[in-house]
Amino acid sequence: MKRPRKVPLTFEEHDALGAELQAMRDRLGEIATMLSSRYPKCSSDYDIAAKAQRWVDRLRSRLDVRFGHDCPEHDCGMASKVYYRGGAR
């Protein structure tokens, strides 16, 4: 028996997810900066916050590509605005 095909994210879902991930990334950067100013950069606290920010960046990058497949009608320059907003709005 065939499995039903999964429905990809809509433009609106990608847009909302992009905003959430941007906010997470920004906040993790703030946390990493705060920790680096209070503790040695070699501390695991700073390292974990910085790694978490990089993992969010990796997810944004992958979803940016997926957005092009899911929403080809919006892909003309919109992907960078959905997952890379240039900071908090």
Say what percent of the chain tops pLDDT 90.
Answer: 56
Q: What is the span of the domain harbouring residue 54?
A: 11-83
Answer yes or no: pTM beyond 0.75: yes
Q: Write the DSSP symbol of residue 4.
A: P
Evaluate whether residue 33 is within a structural domain.
yes
The encoded tokens of residue 35 equal 């920790």
Evaluate whether residue 5 is within a structural domain.
no
**What's the pLDDT at 2?**
81
Evaluate whether residue 72 is within a structural domain.
yes
Evaluate whether residue 35 is within a structural domain.
yes
Evaluate whether residue 77 is within a structural domain.
yes
> Mean pLDDT, to the nearest integer, of 11-17?
94
User: Helices 75-83 and 44-70: crossing angle, nearest 10°?
Assistant: 160
Strand ranges inside 1-89, DSSP E: none
Evaluate whether residue 42 is within a structural domain.
yes
- As for how many domains the chain has, the answer is 1
